Amino acid sequence: MDILYNTSSNLVLTGFNLSSETVTPVFLFASLSYMIILFCNLVLILTIVLNKSLHQPMYIILLNLPINDLIGSSALFPHVIKEILTNSRTMQYSTCVAQAFFLHIYAGGTVFILTAMAYDRYIAICCPLKYNTVMTNVHLLKIITVVWISILVLIGVLFYLLLRLPRCRSDITSPYCDNPSLLSLVCVNTTINNIYGLFIVALSQVIANGMILYTYLQILVACFRFKRSDTKAKALQTCATHLIVFLLLECLGLFTIISYRIQGISPHLRRFIGLSTLIFPPTLNPIIYGLKTKEIREKVVRFFRNRILTS
């Protein structure tokens, strides 16, 4: 039987199926979450950019994290808020692809940036005398360039393989777009896409988990060699917060990926975990890395104190 290919530019998303009583609180929650993410991440970006004392490798690498969080949040929240307000479940195919592309950039970016941060902490704690020699501006630029080019190439190929396939469906069983939901619109063989998707997941996990496991084991060993208890405590605190953020992202991200490959799993649970991956890390990252970092916290407090006193 011949397959009737769908060339419609409009897609129908599942939506949230909200009752009239829950529309207002859900809209307020989504709007407030997006405002908090925007405010916290922009404050962190401006604090690092505007203070020359923070123009150090650790903070320059950290700067990429709120930029990446804003990419992911801005790809998701405006559409979600519009959907809640208008109860519209349609989306242009091109818009859906763009949203999915930037959401995957965000997911991959977070993993790679946290890996780069782990490498920086490893050099700072395990090789403090060589830190300035190793983490030069040139080396720092190479790290950041490799991180972003790797993400763009890996995700770019993923979506090239997707866009070459014809569609025969227009319904997406998700309130937002991603690669698995877009692949569900395709009625031809997607083996190559599935293999490549699993390949980039496995590659990123091997690199990220391998690097973080190695660096943190080395950091842990180095911490027990420190004679000063305050130095040991500071190093362990820095690494513990970093590890918590990474493990949170890994658990949410891996469950979302696995859930698409398990038949019979609750779609509501899948949506909740998927949205949690896009809400909690961008909200917690600037708080954990900003307020928990003494130098950044002091700059932020000083800025708002001066603004309040002069107003």
CA–CA separation, 245 vs 239, rounded Å? 10
Q: What's the pLDDT score for residue 234?
A: 63
CA–CA separation, 263 vs 62, rounded Å? 38
* C-alpha closest to that of 111 among 78, 74, 155: 155
- Higher-confidence residue of 234 and 199: namely 199
CA–CA separation, 215 vs 125, rounded Å? 10
Q: What's the pLDDT score for residue 1?
A: 44
Q: Is 12 helix (H, G, I), strand (E, B) or coil?
A: strand
Mean pLDDT throughout 21-32?
87
Q: Residues of the chain with pLDDT > 70: what percent?
A: 86
- Higher-confidence residue of 194 and 275: namely 194
Mean pLDDT throughout 270-276?
75
β-strand partners of 126: none
Identify the DSSP state of 129: G
Mean pLDDT throughout 256-276?
71
pLDDT in tens, 155-198: 999 999 999 988 888 888 777 888 988 998 888 888 999 999 98
- Higher-confidence residue of 148 and 241: namely 148
**123-146 b/e (C-beta count within 10 Å ≥ 16 → b):** bbbbeeeebeeebeeeebeebbee
Q: Is 2 helix (H, G, I), strand (E, B) or coil?
A: coil
Q: What's the pLDDT score for residue 196?
A: 94
* C-alpha closest to that of 74 among 112, 49, 105: 105
CA–CA separation, 122 vs 145, rounded Å? 20
Q: Is 210 helix (H, G, I), strand (E, B) or coil?
A: helix
CA–CA separation, 188 vs 152, rounded Å? 26
Q: Is 202 helix (H, G, I), strand (E, B) or coil?
A: helix
Is 50 exceeded by the pLDDT of residue 267?
yes
CA 169 to chain centre: 29
Mean pLDDT throughout 253-262?
70
Q: Which amino acid is at 27?
A: F
Tell me the pLDDT band of 2, cut-offs 50, 70 and 90. very low
Q: Are 127 and 134 in contact (CB under 8 A)?
A: yes
Place of tokens 């979600």: 80
Task: State the sign of the Cα–Cα–Cα–Cα dihedral 152, 158, 160, 163.
Answer: negative
Averaged confidence pLDDT in the chain: 83
Domains annotated on the chain, with CATH:
19-306 (1.20.1070.10)
Dig out the tokens for 139 from the structure: 């080396």
Mean pLDDT throughout 260-285?
75
| Host H or E run for residue 30 | helix 20-50
